[in-house]
């Protein structure tokens, strides 16, 4: 009987201590051994009794387990269990145990500190090897509402599309070049493809109705656009009131090899001038942002201009 088990659990002072300690922190057996100063076999035996009574449960942490009190869960005798735990929580933890618990928790942090002090100079490479270099972008998009309609103007090869399709239910990718649209379609397979529709169009003719988009992105596109102010007007038209514009652009530059290689129309933009053009197109809250993670030319065989992001809002 679980009820008997609960009463039995509370008859033993070590089990009462274990509960008290676990109410402070989830711990592994060896950590409990340090805090309680009891042999491992004793701690394990008492943990077994507490688990059978449903007062404690364990979760696997790799090859070991950590133990925690079970509170607020339905099941037989959940009222009694919660009362026992509430009572245990009111009991003061003796100072030596408190101090050993603090030591155990500090040593968790010092293990981690010791590791990172060893790998500080290698960490970026380890991080990228293990997880890639863009997962934080995925995470940041989680801050944006998933029901947004997002337009990727000049989607090109669809570099942004996996990220956008993962977060947003409705993504419209527009490009004037069939070959680019084909590569974009190829890039998106399975579930992600269901969230994206492709349109052949240009920045000045997006084939999207008025007031449709929550976010309009033009990444590395405006310097190809014959008449940038007309493109800004088109972005304004398709955005909902309150919708956001995100432009990623090259800084104004004089790098002729780069310009020739990329066949750009414009040699980048002065960010303040582009901000003014956004305002003239009706946008407010226009702000330019450095893109400091861009490291042009370091890896490339050619000097490339820096990039900046420009954001605005349709009032
Ligand atoms: C440098 S790629 C950028 C692709 C993508 N946005 C990215 O960030 O990787 C430029 C793309 O803009 C497209 N493009 C060129 N002129 C355009 C225009 N007037 N309107 C919309 N897209 C245009 C090109 O076909 C090309 O696919």
CATH number of the domain that 283 lies in? Answer: 3.40.50.150
Domain match, 115 and 189 both: no
Question: How many structural domains compose the chain?
Answer: 2
- Report the b/e string of 82-111 with b at 16+ CB within 10 A: bebbeebeeeeeeeebeebbeebeeeeeee
pLDDT tens string, the chain, 315 residues long: the values are: 678 899 999 999 999 999 999 999 999 999 999 999 999 999 999 999 999 999 999 999 999 999 999 987 777 788 899 999 999 999 999 999 999 999 999 999 999 999 999 999 999 999 999 999 888 888 999 999 999 999 999 999 999 999 999 999 999 999 999 999 999 999 998 888 899 999 999 999 999 999 999 999 999 999 999 999 999 999 999 999 999 999 999 999 999 998 999 999 999 999 999 999 999 999 999 999 998 765 555 556 788 899 999 999 999
Where a domain ends, among 98, 127, 156? 127
99: left (phi > 0), else alpha (psi -120 to 50), else beta? alpha
Domain match, 110 and 168 both: no
Determine if ligand 1 sits within 6 Å of the CB of residue 177: yes
Which residue's C-alpha comes closest to atom 19 of ligand 1?
225
CA 24/CA 32 separation, integer angstroms? 12
The preferred substitution site among 162, 164, 198, 224 for testing ligand 1, maximizing ligand atoms within 8 Å of CB, is: 224
Give me the pLDDT at residue 53, please.
93
Domain match, 8 and 153 both: no
For the CA atoms of 15, 17, 19, 20, what is the dihedral angle to 10 degrees?
170
Which residue's C-alpha comes closest to atom 22 of ligand 1?
154
Domain match, 14 and 83 both: yes
Q: What is the residue range of 308's domain?
A: 132-313
- CB-CB contact of 157 with 180 (8 Å): yes
Is the pTM here over 0.85, yes or no?
no
Domain match, 187 and 308 both: yes
Domain match, 66 and 144 both: no
Determine if ligand 1 sits within 6 Å of the CB of residue 184: no
131-182: per-residue pLDDT in tens? Answer: 998 888 889 999 999 999 999 999 999 999 999 999 999 999 999 999 999 9
The preferred substitution site among 162, 182, 221 for testing ligand 1, maximizing ligand atoms within 8 Å of CB, is: 221
Domain match, 9 and 109 both: yes
CA 145/CA 199 separation, integer angstroms? 23
Where a domain ends, among 127, 142, 164? 127
Where a domain ends, among 68, 93, 127? 127
């Amino acid at each position: 009987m679980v009820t008997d088990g609960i009463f039995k659990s509370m008859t033993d002072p070590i089990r009462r201590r274990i509960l008290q300690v676990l109410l402070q922190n989830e711990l592994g057996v060896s950590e409990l051994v340090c805090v309680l100063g009891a042999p491992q076999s004793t701690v394990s035996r008492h943990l077994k009794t507490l688990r059978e009574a449903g007062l404690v449960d364990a979760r696997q942490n790799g090859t070991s387990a950590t133990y925690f009190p079970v509170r607020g869960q339905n099941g037989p005798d959940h009222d009694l269990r919660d009362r026992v735990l509430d009572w245990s929580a009111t009991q003061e933890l003796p100072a030596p145990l408190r101090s050993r618990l603090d030591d155990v928790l500090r040593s968790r942090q010092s293990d981690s500190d010791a590791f990172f002090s060893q790998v500080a100079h290698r960490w970026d490479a380890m991080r990228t090897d293990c997880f890639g270099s863009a997962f934080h972008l995925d995470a940041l998009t989680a801050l944006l509402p998933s029901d947004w309609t997002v337009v990727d103007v000049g989607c090109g090869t669809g570099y942004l599309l996996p990220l956008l399709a993962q977060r947003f239910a409705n993504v419209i990718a527009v490009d004037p070049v069939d070959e680019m649209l084909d590569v974009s379609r190829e890039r998106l397979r399975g579930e992600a493809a269901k969230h994206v529709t492709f349109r052949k169009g240009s920045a000045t003719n997006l084939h999207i109705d008025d007031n449709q988009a929550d976010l309009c992105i033009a990444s590395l596109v405006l310097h190809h656009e014959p008449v940038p102010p007309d493109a800004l007007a088109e972005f304004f038209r398709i955005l909902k009131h309150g919708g956001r514009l995100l432009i990623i652009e090259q800084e104004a530059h004089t790098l002729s090899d780069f310009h020739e290689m990329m066949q750009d129309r414009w040699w980048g933009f002065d960010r303040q001038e582009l901000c003014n053009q956004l305002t003239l197109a009706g946008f407010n809250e226009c702000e330019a942002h450095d893109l400091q993670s861009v490291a042009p030319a370091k890896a490339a065989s050619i000097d490339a201009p820096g990039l900046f992001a420009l954001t605005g809002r349709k009032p």
